[in-house]
Amino acid sequence: MLRWRLLTAAVAIPFLLWLIYRGPVWFLNSFVLAVTYIALREYSAMALRGVRGATTAVTLGGMTIALTMGLGSSGATISAGIVICLCGVLIGTLATAKDMAKSVGHAGQILLGCLYAGVLLPHFIWVRALPEDGPNWVTFILGCVMAGDAGGYFGGRFYGKRKLWPAVSPKKTVEGSISSFVCSLVIGLAVAQIGLTKLGLVEAILVSAVVNVLAQLGDLLESMLKRAYQATDSGWIFPGHGGVLDRTDSLVLPVVFVYYYAILTQGYLSLP
């Protein structure tokens, strides 16, 4: 497992750095949308197995939202995309309802999937589009989260004794969580000092801390979903890491936080 993790990281990190700094904008946007598409299908396969039409509903609804965001549309257009998704799911639920309780439950699960992947992941497109420092903000997020993941893995493996939240994630430990936090602070501060010079020392530490806390919460949220639906991993696309949802769970909350933090404190425009 460790060998596969390291091999995947060795391939993914250079590719991501190229994509962020050298790749065409349209390619990065397409990559984020493709990841969103896979995440939507993974969620559907995990949460709505055997539910007729669920995969189509989740994919169409989530991608409607994601495309309006990825195309840099106005806030009104994005709101319209969310409303179309909501209305489509509700009307579809009404048209196909047989068991009312199950149908309403499935509608809630479909909407959760549409919003979880379809709204949160495309924020990477918006962060990358921030003037001047967009690529550095993306690197800051990835650096904090990846360092936190690595610190949590090795800290928990070698020093973990006390369970963090066994009902949600039996393998996570307090010691691993602390190691994750420290590693995120170190890498986040380093990236900020090199590429985000607008951030002062204390501010960089605080933002790195919030990113790590949100990353750990996102990881726990996805663990909760997997336990609720009795899934070990959301998919298999990343050897040693699982599926797209398994790799993006710790990114979706930090990227939203960083985007809105940046536009509120750094004087950027609110949309790309």
* CA 42 – CA 113 distance, rounded (Å): 10
The answer to whether residue 76 is domain-embedded is yes
The answer to whether residue 270 is domain-embedded is no
Write out the residue range of the structural domain in which residue 28 sits: 2-265
The answer to whether residue 216 is domain-embedded is yes
CA angle 157, 190, 16 (to 5 degrees): 75
The answer to whether residue 50 is domain-embedded is yes
pLDDT at 203: 94
Residue type for position 154: F
The answer to whether residue 234 is domain-embedded is yes
The answer to whether residue 271 is domain-embedded is no
125-158 per-position pLDDT tens digit? 999 998 878 999 999 999 999 999 999 988 888 8
Residue 237 reports pLDDT greater than 60: no
pLDDT at 232: 67
Q: What is the DSSP string of 140-166?
A: HHHHHHHHHHHHHHHHHHHH--SEEET
* CA 272 – CA 128 distance, rounded (Å): 9
Name the token pair of 243. Answer: 């599926």
Task: Please classify residue 91 by burial: count the beta carbons closer than 10 Å to its beta carbon, then call 0-12 exposed, 13-18 middle and 19+ buried.
Answer: exposed
Please say whether the beta carbons of 34 and 112 come within 8 A.
no
Residue 190 reports pLDDT greater than 90: yes
pLDDT at 100: 64
pLDDT class of 161 with cuts at 50, 70, 90 = confident
Phi and psi based region of residue 240 (left: phi greater than 0; alpha: psi -120 to 50; beta: remaining): left
Tokens 């066994």 sit on residue? 166
pLDDT at 52: 78
Helix (H, G, I), strand (E, B) or coil at 172: strand
For residue 226, the surrounding DSSP H or E stretch is: helix 201-228
Please say whether the beta carbons of 103 and 93 come within 8 A.
yes
pLDDT at 11: 80
Tell which wins on pLDDT, 261 or 48: 261
Model-level pTM? 0.87
pLDDT class of 251 with cuts at 50, 70, 90 = very high
The answer to whether residue 7 is domain-embedded is yes
24-75 per-position pLDDT tens digit? 999 999 999 999 999 999 998 888 887 777 888 899 889 988 988 887 655 5
Name the token pair of 46. Answer: 């995990």
Q: What's the structural domain count of the chain?
A: 1
